[in-house]
């Protein structure tokens, strides 16, 4: 039996935005070449709302290349990349982020004294006030 998430939760918002089983991100026949080296070939992937999607494979299988394509760090050379059933060509990670796609890399570049959620947003902090005329500096 499928569970229904509250609409104010991220999973609930995703369920409300798309039909229950329709992928929000889909790859069809995606491939990537580095010169004469074929790093990926014929990759099909469907990421559905409210579900966890895992990328698993041996070393050298192309997992990192696939994630870099999804996150906008690299572009695919073959196949289709669709977000909400619309073809996309991401030029950089900011393009992916604007579509709600973010990547958390498996590395040791974390700050142990910060809570986990703050580490997720390292490098994405606000650098100016979101309100016109407001200043980030305190007057003392």
For the residues 100-119, what does the mean pLDDT come to?
79
- Residue 107 predicted with pLDDT over 80: no
Question: What pLDDT, on a 0 to 100 scale, did the predictor assign at position 114?
Answer: 86
The pLDDT tens digits for 59-95 are: 999 999 999 999 999 999 999 999 999 999 999 999 9
The pLDDT tens digits for 5-45 are: 555 555 555 445 555 689 999 999 999 999 999 999 999 99
- Residue 3 predicted with pLDDT over 80: no
**104, 120 Cβ separation under 8 angstroms:** yes
**78, 29 Cβ separation under 8 angstroms:** yes
Query: Which residue segments constitute the domains of the chain, with CATH numbers given?
Result: 20-103 (3.40.50.300)
- Residue 113 predicted with pLDDT over 70: yes
- Residue 1 predicted with pLDDT over 50: no
Strand partners, 38: 33
**CA 46 to CA 48: how far, in whole Å?**
6
Question: What pLDDT, on a 0 to 100 scale, did the predictor assign at position 110?
Answer: 78
Give the residue among 52, 1, 48, 53 at the shortest CA–CA distance from 20.
48
């Amino acid at each position: 039996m499928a569970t229904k998430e509250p609409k104010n939760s991220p999973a609930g918002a995703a369920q409300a935005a798309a039909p229950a089983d329709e992928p929000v991100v889909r790859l069809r026949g995606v491939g990537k070449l580095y010169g004469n080296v074929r790093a990926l070939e014929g990759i099909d992937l469907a990421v559905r709302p409210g579900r966890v999607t895992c990328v698993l494979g041996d070393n050298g299988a192309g997992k990192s290349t696939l994630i870099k394509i999804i996150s906008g760090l690299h572009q695919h050379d073959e196949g289709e990349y669709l977000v909400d059933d619309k073809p996309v060509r991401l030029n950089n990670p900011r393009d992916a982020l604007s579509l709600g796609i973010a990547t958390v890399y498996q590395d040791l570049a974390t700050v142990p004294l910060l809570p986990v959620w703050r580490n997720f947003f390292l490098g994405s902090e606000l650098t100016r006030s979101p309100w016109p005329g407001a200043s980030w500096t305190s007057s003392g």
